[in-house]
Amino acid sequence: MATDAGALVARATGVALQAHGLSKRFGKKTALDAIDLTVPAGSVTALVGPNGAGKTTLIRICMAFERPNGGRVEVDGVDPWKHRSEALRGVGYVPQTPAVYRGLDVDDHLAMARSLHSGFDAEYARKRLNQLGIPLDQRADTLSGGQAAQLGLAIALGTRAKVLLLDEPLANLDPLARREFIQVLIDAIRSDGSTVLLSSHIVTDVEEACDRLVILGAGKVLLDCPLEEARQAHKLTDSKSPPPGGIAVGSFAGKGLTRLTLWRVPADAGEGAAAATEPASLEEVVLGYLAAGRGTTGLQLN
Amino acid sequence: MRARIILTLKQHRFETVAVTIVCVGLTLAALIEAYRLNSLNVPLSCLQTYQFGYADPSQGPISAAQAHCNELAKSFFDTKSSLDMSLVQLLLLFAPLLTGIVVGAPLVAREIEQGTAPLSWALSGSRRRWLLGKVLAGVVLLAPLMLAVGLAANVLEGALSPGLNPYASFSNYLGRGVIDVFWALAAFAGTFALGTLLGRTMPAVVVALVVCFFVRAAWDSGMSHFVLRSFAVEQVQQDQQNQQGGYVVYGPGGPAYADMNLYYKTFIDGKEVTDAQRNDWYAQNMVCTPIPTPSDSTSPAEAGSPGASNSPGASSSPGAPATPGYPTTVGNGGIACQGPTVDPSHFPQQIPYVIPGSWYWQIVGLESGILLLGSLFCGAIAFVWVDRRRPY
C-alpha cells in the first residue's frame, strides 16, 4: 500500500527517479558522496562522467544490486532496497556488458524474460529484433557485440517499463553499432514515452537522444540541468579574462594544447559576453566540469 | 514455471546431457550386470556348498552334479568379482553425490560468473522466485534419474546376493534404492548453496566434493551411534544362515533378516548404562594392589586400601574377597587389579541389539528424511543469501 502511494505521489509530482543524500562507500573509497538528484518523468537524462565517477553505482543502487550507506533513492516513488519487486516491476535495465545466456537462442531469451516478468511483451521485443534483422533462432553467444546490446535493449523495452536504466550500453560498441543502438532507443522513447537514465562517458553519443544532462565526478553531481540550458549557459575562452558576468567552471587543454576555460554565463549577462567568447559544445561543457571536479586541467579534447 | 524449468535445463545443457547419459548408462550397466549374474541360474545350494568349501575335491571324490554345481558357483563368484562389476558398483556408490554436485554447482554461480544474474534479477524482481525455478529444474532432472539408478542398484544387489530380499536387508542399503534420490538432492542442495555463497563454480565444486566425501564417510558410524542405535531391538537368536542370506534374527516381530551392524548395549542390574558408566563400574569394583617387590614386606591384603589405585576415580574394596577364578591383570605402575568382587549376576551385561530387515522402509525413510532436512536447510541458506548478495 505504501509503495502504491509512493508511486502515485511520484506520478503526481512528475518525478521518475529521486535521490536524497545518497551515499555509497566501498571500503575507504567513496563512490557516491551524498548526492541529490531528480530525474523528471518522461525525460531522457544523460548521466555523464569519467570511469569511477559513480554512474554504475548509482544505477546499481536503483536496481537494488547495491545497498546505499546513506540517504535514499526512489524509483517511481518506490525504494528499491525496501520494496524490490514493486520497484523493479516498472524498471527496464540494460547492463554495462551485454549479458547473454550462451546456451540459449535469441527467442529463448525472450521466453525467459516472459517467464520472469509477467508484463513482458515478447511480441513487441520480437518485432524490434526483426526490424534489426537479428534472427530469433540464432544462438546468443554467436551474436556480435552490437546485436547482443540490441537484444539487451529489446528485453528492457519489452518490459514496457516506465523507467529505463541503461548502464553504459554503448561502451563496448563500434561507432555503427552505437549509432544503431541510439536510433532504436530514440524510436522506442518516442513511441513509449518512457523515462530514461542513460549513463555514458562518451558525450557525443548521448547528445542526440537526451534532453537532460547530469555530470557526475568523484561521486558528486557537478551539473544537473536541461541539455539546451547546458549548451547556452556555458561559454569558452582561450584566456583567463572572464566574459561579462561569467563564472569560471574549469580549464582544460584543447587542441594544440591551447588552454581553454569554461565559463558559466547567466542568461542576462548581455551582448558583450557572446562577442568575447566561443559557444561551448556539450563535450566541452562536460570537460570543463570534470576538470573542475578533479582540480586538474589534464583532460585532452579529441 | 514450466517454461522456466525447461529454459534452465536448456541453459545448463551440458550438465543436463552429461548427467542424463551417466545415469541412463549406469542404470543400463547395473541391469546388464544383474542379468549376467541371474542368467547363470546358480542354485542357492551350490553357492552355499561352494562358499563353505564342502565341495573341495581334497575332501574326497565329488559327483558330476557337484562338479557342475562347483562350476556354476565359480562362474558366479568370478563374475561377481570382475573388474566391470566392481566399477559399476563403485559408480553406483558415488553417482548420487557426483550428479548432485555437477547439477548444483553452476546453477547460481555460473550466472554470477557470466554476468547474466543482473539481467535475470532485474527482470524477476523476486530473486527467490527466480531461484525456485532453477532449483525445481535441478530436482526435476535429478529425482527420476537417480530413482532409476537406485532401483537398478537394488536389482543388482538382489543378483549379487541370491536369496536376499533387497527391500528387507541393510546390505549396501545406503548406495541403492530410494535413498539414492535423497543423497543426490542433498549434494545438489549443498552445492547450489555453496555456489550462491561463493559465486564461483569451480570453488563450489571443490568444497562440495570435500564436504560430501566427509559426510558420506562419517554417515554410517554417525547414524549408527546417534540415531539407529535407539531403534535396535534385542537379538533373541541369531542364525548365520549363509553368506548370501545374511543373518536371521528372531526379534519381537518374529524372524527377519537383520542389519549386519550389531549394537551392543550394556545393562547393570537390568538398567541400561553408558560406556562411561560401565567403565566407572569396573573401576569401582576392581581390587587393585601394588605388586610386591622382593624387598617389600607389605602383604597384598594390607596394600588393598583406599588410595592404592592409580586409576582415575577408582577405589578398592578393602578386605573384600576377590572373585574366585577371575583373571588378575597387571596395571600401570606395578599395580595388579583383580575382581570384580561382586556377585557375577550383577556384572555388567553386554547384549547385542540389531535392526531387523523388516524395518528396511522405516530406516530408509528415516535416513532419507534426515537427508531431506539437510537439503532443505542448505536450500534455505541459498534462498536467504541470494536475496542479499550482489549479482556480480
Strands, sheet with A247-253, edge to edge from the N-terminal-most edge strand = A247-253, A259-264, A234-237, A278-279
Chain A interface, best mutation among B8, B15, B119, by max A CB count within 10 A: B119
The count of other CB atoms within 10 Å of the CB of residue B90 is 11
Smallest CA–CA distance, residue B28 to chain A, in Å, is 29
Q: Report chain A residues whose CB lies below 8 A from the CB of B14.
A: 103
Name beta bridge partners: A92: A164
Among A97, A103, A114, beta carbon nearest to B13: A103
Answer whether residue B301 shows pLDDT above 50. Answer: no
* Chain A: residues touching B (Cβ < 8 Å): 63, 65-66, 84-89, 91-93, 95, 97, 99-104, 108, 111-117, 120, 152, 155, 159
The count of other CB atoms within 10 Å of the CB of residue B214 is 10
Q: What is the pLDDT of residue B333?
A: 53
Smallest CA–CA distance, residue B125 to chain A, in Å, is 4
CA–CA gap between residue B234 and residue B251 (Å, rounded):
6
Smallest CA–CA distance, residue B92 to chain A, in Å, is 30
Q: What is the pLDDT of residue B352?
A: 76
Q: Max alpha carbon distance in chain A (Å)?
A: 64
B70-121 tens-digit pLDDT:
888 888 888 888 999 999 999 999 999 999 999 999 999 999 999 899 989 9
Q: Across the 302 residues of chain A, what is the mean pLDDT of every consecutive 10-residue run?
A: 55 80 92 91 89 90 92 90 87 87 91 90 90 89 88 90 89 82 84 87 81 88 87 79 77 77 75 62 84 55 35
Joined together, the cell numbers standing for residue A182 give 541510439
The count of other CB atoms within 10 Å of the CB of residue A28 is 5
Are B375 and B189 in contact, with CB atoms under 8 Å apart?
Answer: yes
B141-173 tens-digit pLDDT:
999 999 999 999 999 998 888 777 788 777 788
Answer whether residue B331 shows pLDDT above 60. Answer: no
A22-60 tens-digit pLDDT:
999 999 899 999 999 999 988 889 999 888 889 999 999
Cβ of B125 within 8 Å of Cβ of A120? The answer is no
E-state strands within A42-193: 44-48, 70-75, 91-94, 163-167
Residue partners of B252: CB distance under 8 A and separation at least 6: B233, B234, B236
The DSSP bridge pattern shows strands A259-264 and B271-273 to be unpaired
CA–CA gap between residue A247 and residue B290 (Å, rounded):
105
Among A65, A100, A115, beta carbon nearest to B391: A65
Instruction: Name the band, by pLDDT with cuts 50, 70 and 90, for residue B307.
Output: very low
Helical segments of B115-200, H only: 117-124, 127-160, 179-198
CA–CA gap between residue B321 and residue B301 (Å, rounded):
10
In this prediction the pTM is 0.79
Tell me if chain A has a CB within 8 Å of the CB of B126: yes
CA B91 centroid distance within chain: 17
Cβ of A65 within 8 Å of Cβ of B123? The answer is no
In this structure, is the dihedral angle defined by the CA atoms of residues A286, A287, A289 and A293, taken in order, positive or negative? Answer: positive
Residue partners of B130: CB distance under 8 A and separation at least 6: A116, B120, B121, B124, B386
Q: What is the pLDDT of residue B243?
A: 41
- B105 by DSSP, 3-state: which? helix
Answer whether residue B35 shows pLDDT above 70. Answer: yes
* DSSP code at position B307: T
B129-140 tens-digit pLDDT:
899 999 999 999
CA–CA gap between residue B178 and residue A130 (Å, rounded):
49
Higher pLDDT residue, A115 or B229? A115
Cβ of A66 within 8 Å of Cβ of B390? The answer is yes
Among A66, A91, A99, beta carbon nearest to B115: A99
Query: What percent of chain B has a predicted confidence (pLDDT) above 70?
Result: 75
Smallest CA–CA distance, residue A90 to chain B, in Å, is 10
Are A149 and A184 in contact, with CB atoms under 8 Å apart?
Answer: no
Q: What is the pLDDT of residue B313?
A: 33
- ipTM of this predicted structure: 0.82
Among B7, B12, B122, beta carbon nearest to A88: B122
Q: What is the pLDDT of residue B241?
A: 46
CA dist list (Å): A33 to A198, A218, A277, B347: 20, 8, 34, 79
Q: What is the pLDDT of residue B177?
A: 92
Domain boundaries defined on chain B: 2-236+356-386, 287-339
Residue partners of A157: CB distance under 8 A and separation at least 6: A92, A124, A125, A128, A164, A188, A192
Number of residues that this document lists for chain A: 302
Smallest CA–CA distance, residue B113 to chain A, in Å, is 11
Instruction: Name the band, by pLDDT with cuts 50, 70 and 90, for residue B57.
Output: low
Chain A interface, best mutation among B2, B4, B7, B11, by max A CB count within 10 A: B7
Give which of A55, A79, A53, A81 is closest to A67, Cα–Cα.
Answer: A81
Q: What are phi and psi for residue B169, nearest 5 degrees?
A: -145, 150
Q: Report chain A residues whose CB lies below 8 A from the CB of B1.
A: 115
Q: Report chain A residues whose CB lies below 8 A from the CB of B127.
A: 84
Instruction: Name the band, by pLDDT with cuts 50, 70 and 90, for residue B311.
Output: very low
Planar angle of CA B262, B265, B270, nearest 5 degrees: 145
Tell me if chain A has a CB within 8 Å of the CB of B115: yes
Give which of A27, A29, A48 is closest to A37, Cα–Cα.
Answer: A48
Answer whether residue B334 shows pLDDT above 50. Answer: yes
Smallest CA–CA distance, residue B373 to chain A, in Å, is 28
